[in-house]
Structure 1
Amino acid sequence: MGDDNGVNGDLNDNLKRQSTGDPQLDKAVQQWLTWDKNPWTRAQIESLVVACRVDDLRSRLCSRMSFGTAGLRAPMGAGFNRINDLTVIQSTQGLFSYLSRYFPDFSGRGVVVGFDTRGQEESGCSSQRLAKLTAAVLLSRDIPVHLFSTFIPTPYVPYAVKKMGAAAGVMITASHNPKEDNGYKVYWCNGAQISSPHDKEILRCIEEQLEPWSTSCWEEELVESSSLRTDPLVQINSCYMEELTSLCFHRDLNSSCPLKFVHSSFHGVGHVFVQQAFQSFGFAPPIPVPEQKDPDPNFPSVHCPNPEEGESVLELSLLLAERENARIILATDPDADRLAVAEKSDRCGWKVFTGNELAALLGWWMFFNWKENHPDPAETQGVYMLATTVSSKILQAFARIEGFHFEETLPGFKWIGNRIHELSKTGNTVIFAFEESIGFLCGSMVPDKDGVSSAAVVAEMAACLHNKNLSWPSMLHTQRICFWYGYHVSKTSYVICNNPPTIQKIFSRIRNFEGEGSYPKTCGGVRIVHVRDVTMGYDSSQPDLRSVLPVSRSSQMITFTLENGVVATLRTSGTEPKIKYYTEFCAAPGKSEVSSLEEELRKVTAALLEEFLEPEKNNLIRRFV
């Protein structure tokens, strides 16, 4: 791709000789211009050198990405800390090195590779191109690659890894991040996202051999010519849709369902797959939002391609639903692993469910159907539901009364996926898992959140409730669930902080709030009875003061349990410059004054924000909901 002859060769030599005044930076520039063969990203670095943009060069070239909650995720563009041809090639070389050491039969198992629809092809950083380069690196070392021939939902990669017995999977996606971003998401052989120590070892292997092995690593054509490349699309899609019917409990009702559903795929990959999922359940296809049906990496109709933002990004869906007299809106994020749901009520207009509210409905629905098919109470002992620790405790209330098991994990579906694998090895069954950020898993056919299957399950739940007149609409059924198991009033939001040192300062202040090594004693005048800081491995509720949840030093997370029953958590996002905050008031079963619970929670949430985060002082950008 690059041309080192003639004028271009002279320009490259001149650029390599041009000093920035920083020897370390000069070396990094020279390495980039020597290794990078993509003309688009080379031109970015060349222009920065000519313009003497030293700070920009240092930002791009003097640090590297680390494996986080979702593998690698960063803006597309030139630089060792961005997503581009070179960093994807380097990452895949490191992945190959680690997998070849770990799996004696690696050359027989291969790797699954999938991609979404991000990035412009002319930029050289499209997801499809990066997926082909990932495949090319592996094929150059005679490793079989199961590369999907077209865009797919993220859940298809972990599903394919398990179904095909692959050593690992790679999905090129940045999910619901801004259009400028892309990512490199890695799955282990059990189908779960990679976790420690694999993430650290892969990163170490990447750093051991940064120079591209050969020109063949850059050759997309190798993907088309190699006999070791297979396309799993037809097989995996067929198996997925067939296995999806195991989550369908009332197919006879679905075909005659009078409810209309609107679906938005948010300019991503979800449209065709959600249509097929509805067909597998016996439904008429949902009505697509035409402006958002087809993939478009520019996400032109939404200010943010994240359905978790709620009504502000569902405007086109709401307008279409009103025109079509549809009562339920389903929205999958761009890579179709998350699901947002809105419902029209004759009493209250449109209601956009939070992740916690929808989880209460889905958890109840999955257990209701499981009990119908397993009437022996003894079988309940092998049933589990899982949730991340910042999510609602409503499943815990279910488990307490119904007799199944509930467990919490650290935030991130990698923890849920790996726990599902561990439980399945001992003969247990996970029938539902979720994280509050609209990530749901019904059943356990995919050890990751799955917006496609969740959309079909939500539709069937709505159809069944409507048919049997069980407190339809589901908003009312949510209220009944809360009456049975106790009202769980929650609040989730975030502040944006683009300065990492400020985030460190905020959490350091909290850990030394009442003097060195002393956490806050009150929040909004309410006594704090327990503090858990998984970043530091501390939990004041345990006799040995050690956190039961694993220590996670790569991110910040502190949880406060207050005397009035409110649980509040502050944590940093693994993929975005955000400090997220979560508060929940858990009431006992029976009648509760919901308005008083909400007011108490509002006061504590406001105090948590003002006293601990100090938004104005730290120049934080608030999200108001």
Structure 2
Amino acid sequence: MAENAVESSGDVTLDNAVKQWLKFDKNSKTAACVREMVKTGNIDELRKCFGTRMEFGTAGLRAAMGPGVSRMNDLTIIQTTQGFCRYLEQCFEDLKLRGVVIGFDARQHTPSGGSSKRFASLAAAVFISRGVPVHLFSVFTPTPYVPFTVSRLGLCAGIMVTASHNPKQDNGYKVYWENGAQIISPHDKGIATAIEENLEPWAESWDTEAALQSALLKDPYQDIHREYMQSIQQHCYYRFTHTHTHTADREGATIVLANDPDADRLAMAEKQISGEWKVFSGNELGALLGWWTFRCWKEKQGEKFTSSVKDVYMLASTVSSKILRAIALKEGFHFQETLTGFKWMGNRAKQLLDQGKTVLFAFEEAIGYMCSPAVLDKDGVSAAAIAGEMISYLSSKNTSVSQQLKAIYEENYNGANTYPQDCQGFAITAVRDLTTGYDSNQSDRKAILPTSKSSQMITFNFANGGVATMRTSGTEPKIKYYTELCAAPGNSDLTRLKEELNSLVDAIVKNFFQPEKNNLISRPESD
């Protein structure tokens, strides 16, 4: 009768999706919810639930909890995990030897009977049914524990059931690869294909009770909790006391450190003299943590600093502040950008670590920070610990966090904005800034010629052989610039070369100087 009601809608695709669901779903609450929608003819709601299946991507899955293929529920968790398991079987011959880890947050959804713990148990049942060892946390944990466990135990993969800071009715399914970082393409496409090929639940996939009694199941919580804390302490240099500060005004606190529900992000606020709270942006906290991390590392290196710094890296997503580039230019370490998301920074960090490089820090403006290579993902727990020791240190120097942030920007004023890479279509290949002491042609990025903040001079090299140097006049309120174009061997067409040089000069004037202030520019000197 229920099936006939769906058929009467005239939507064959919807009809088939609902029929399959009622055949596969063993969760009484979600199945009853679907039957009720069918019985009452609630076609609009049925289309919301069954119109489009959740798309598995590099961020895994994330959606509201409830019935249907577009929601997070028991059946979609089983289907997703079956596909993931099949894909891992194709990629790892030793999957049944190494195994996987599964963690979860504290979310639950009474109407559908779903919870993160329930979803994690179902995922464990799927893997155990295929003879794969599962390290399933017995209690909810911070997200960083999962990638840490993957790396520490040498597992094939990890799953974290969480929707992070999404609304409470949502949930998610985040996947980590054997390198401890979030998956990137082409794994997402491979997993998505495997999910579509394994939609029908395997016989044992629903049997969580048998899975929880299996010898293949282990609880890694005690060991991982201890080892994680020990690992993080290796990257802390000062002791501090941390307390819950969500009642900060009542307790008279001056600093608030806050994590999101799954503790992979960190936010911070500081009470100002005015009594107002300054909430630091993700970029501002990134500047502070990056400065502090490098400062501590540099102090620890001592005499080895000069030889060690050339192998040090910091990372940030392309949409984040370039303050780390500024500090890198000044201190001599490397800064690299990645695409948006820690899946890119985590994988790039792993590549660098495998090359014997030191990755000190990575961040994105969405309050995500990687303060330790022990976790190749954003980690609000270690970030809070390291922020706490930074705050303690600044307090001992009678300096506020806001004051230190201002000092960082003032000391690295040049690098907060990157050097241009293009000038009106002319590509810039190298920069030498004798104001700040930066020279991109040198291996350590430090200029050989004397530098002076009071006598500004900067030189740009262009891909076409052009060179332009700009400097301030020592006697007049003017900016002078000098340009030349070095022709390629065999190119003796002086007329064309002069035209190209004039075009370059026009581009420099238009790009670097304001036309309405040409009275400050001396006559160009060109060769």
Report the TM-score range of the alignment, normalised by the length of the smaller protein.
0.7 to 0.9
Match of 2:256 in 1: 329
SS of corresponding position for 1:482 = helix
Q: CA deviation at 1:441?
A: 1.1
AA at the equivalent of 1:59: K
Q: Which residue is equivalent to 2:108?
A: 119
Do 2:136 and 2:218's aligned partners in 1 also have CA atoms closer than 8 Å?
A: yes
Aligned-partner Cα distance in 2 for 1:190–1:61: 35
Contact residue 139 and residue 222 of structure 1 kept, 8 A:
no
**Number of the residue aligned with 2:173:** 184
By how many angstroms is 1:158 displaced?
0.4
Pairwise mapping of residues 10-25 of structure 1 onto structure 2 (< 5 A)?
18-25=7-14
What is the deviation of 1:56?
Answer: 2.4
Q: Which moved more, 1:87-96 or 1:115-124?
A: 115-124
Match of 1:445 among 365, 371, 374: 374
Report the Cα distance in structure 2 between the residues aligned to 1:410 and 1:102, rounded to whole angstroms: 25
Match of 1:560?
A: none
Asked if structure 2 preserves the Cα contact closer than 8 Å seen for 1:136 and 1:218, the reply is yes
Identity %: 52
Secondary structure (helix, strand or coil) at the match of 1:387 reads strand
Q: CA deviation at 1:69?
A: 4.7
Question: In 1, distance between residues paired with 2:326 and 2:286?
Answer: 13
Is residue 2:212 matched to residue 1:224?
yes
Taking structure 2 as the reference length, the TM-score comes to 0.77
Amino acid at match of 1:99: L
**Distance in 2 between residues matched to 1:197 and 1:530, nearest whole Å:** 36
1:20-58 CA-partner distances (Å, limit 9, x unpaired): 211111111111111111111112211221222223222
Residue 29 of structure 2 corresponds to residue 100 of structure 1: no
Aligned to 1:41: 30
Residue 204 of structure 1 is matched in structure 2 by 193
Structure 2 partner of 1:522: none
8 Å CA contact 2:79–2:198 kept in 1: the answer is yes
| Structure 1 residue 219: Cα displacement | 1.6
Pairing 1:54–2:47 present: no
Report whether the alignment pairs 1:362 with 2:350: no
1:539-586 residue CA offsets vs partner (Å, 9 max, x unmatched): 99799xxxxxxxxxxxxxxxxxxxxxxxxxxxxxxxxxxxxxxxxxxx
The structural deviation recorded for 1:120 is 3.2
More deviation, 220-229/53-62: 53-62
Equivalenced residues, count: 424
Equivalents in 2 of 1:366, 1:382: separation in Å?
15
SS where residue 247 of structure 1 aligns? coil
Deviation of 1:59 after TM superposition, in Å, equals 2.7
Q: 1:125-157 deviations in whole A, cap 9, x for unaligned?
A: 100000000000111111111000000000000
Residues 69, 412 of structure 1: 8 Å contact kept: no
Structure-2 separation of matches of 1:489 and 1:362: 15
CA separation of 1:229 and 1:333: change in aligned 2, threshold 3 A: same
Cα distance, 1:234–1:121 mapped onto 2, change above 3 Å: farther
For 2:8, give the aligned amino acid: S
- In structure 1, what is the Cα distance between the partners aligned to 2:66 and 2:8? 22
Amino acid in the other structure paired with 1:192: A
Q: Is it true that 1:395 corresponds to 2:331 in the alignment?
A: no
- Which of 409, 419, 423 is equivalent to 2:348? 419
Counterpart in the other structure of 1:454? 383
1:4 counterpart residue number = none
Cα distance in 2 for partners of 1:63, 1:21 equals: 17
User: Structure 2 matches for 1:195-274, cutoff 5 A?
Assistant: 195-214=184-203, 216-251=204-239, 254=240
Quick one: distance in 2 between partners of 1:43 and 1:427? 56
Alpha carbons of structure 1 residues 465 and 100: separation in structure 2 relative to 1, 3 Å: same
**Residue 30 of structure 1 pairs with residue 19 of structure 2:** yes
Distance 2:132 2:8 in 1: 41
Structure 2 residue aligned with 1:551:
none
Look up the equivalent residue of 1:392 and give its one-letter code. Answer: S
Contact 2:65 2:112 in 1 (8 A): no
Aligned-partner Cα distance in 2 for 1:474–1:58: 51
Distance in 1, Cα, partners of 2:385 & 2:151: 22
The Cα of 1:530 is off from its aligned counterpart by: 8.9
Please say which structure displays the higher CA radius of gyration: 2
DSSP-derived class of the 2:114 partner: coil
How far apart, in 1, do the equivalents of 2:145 and 2:348 lie?
Answer: 19
Are the counterparts in 2 of residues 145 and 228 from structure 1 also a CA contact under 8 Å?
A: yes
Residues 326 and 416 of structure 2 are in contact (CA less than 8 Å); yes or no, is this contact kept in structure 1? no
Task: Pick from 134, 137, 156 the counterpart of residue 126 of structure 2.
Answer: 137
CA deviation profile, 1:158-203 (whole Å, cap 9, x unmatched): 0011111111000000000011100011000111011101111000
> Where do 1:546-561 residues align within 5 Å?
none
CA contact (8 A) 1:121 1:129 kept: no
CA distance in 2, matches of 1:210, 1:451: 35
Map 1:305-384; keep pairs closer than 5 Å: 317=246, 320-347=247-274, 349-375=276-302, 376-384=305-313
Of 371, 393, 399 in structure 2, the residue corresponding to residue 464 of structure 1 is 393
Task: State how far apart, in whole Å, the 1-side matches of 2:327 and 2:354 are.
Answer: 24
Q: Which runs of 5+ in 1 are unaligned?
A: 1-10, 255-282, 290-316, 491-527, 532-538, 544-625
Q: Is contact 1:15–1:46 with CA below 8 Å preserved after alignment?
A: no
Q: Secondary structure at the match of 1:396?
A: helix
SS at match of 2:146: helix
Shifted more, 335-344 versus 218-227: the winner is 218-227
Match of 1:73 in 2: 62
Query: In the alignment, is the contact (CA less than 8 A) between 2:322 and 2:416 conserved in 1?
Result: no
Q: Distance in 1 between matches of 2:387 and 2:238?
A: 12
- C-alpha contact (below 8 Å) 2:80/2:195 kept by paired residues: yes
Amino acid at match of 2:329: R
CA distance change for structure 1 residues 348 and 489 in 2, over 3 Å: closer, same or farther? farther
> Given residue 484 of structure 1, which amino acid in structure 2 is its aligned partner?
E
Q: State whether residues 342 and 351 of structure 1, in contact with CA within 8 Å, keep that contact through their aligned partners in structure 2.
A: yes
Q: Specify whether residues 121 and 219 from structure 1 end up closer, same or farther in structure 2 by C-alpha distance, changes over 3 A only.
A: farther
Instruction: Give me the CA root mean square deviation.
Output: 2.2
| Contact 2:325–2:415 (8 Å) recurs in 1 | no
Does 2:318 align with 1:407? no
Deviations 1:207-236 (A, max 9, x none): 11211121x211220232111000000010
The reply to whether residue 194 of structure 1 matches residue 183 of structure 2 is: yes
Counterpart of 1:438 in structure 2: which amino acid?
A: I
Q: Which amino acid is 1:21 matched to?
A: G
What is aligned with 1:613? none
Change (3 A) 1:542 1:76: farther
Q: Given that residues 82 and 126 in structure 2 are in contact (C-alpha distance below 8 angstroms), is that contact kept between their aligned partners in structure 1?
A: yes
| Structure 2 unaligned spans of 5+ | 430-527
SS at match of 1:209: coil
1:266-293, Cα deviation, whole Å (9 max, x unpaired): xxxxxxxxxxxxxxxxx3x41x25xxxx
Letter in 2 for 1:359: G
Quick one: distance in 2 between partners of 1:96 and 1:541?
48
Partners of 1:15 and 1:136 in 2: CA distance? 35
Alpha-carbon shift at residue 487 of structure 1 (Å): 7.4
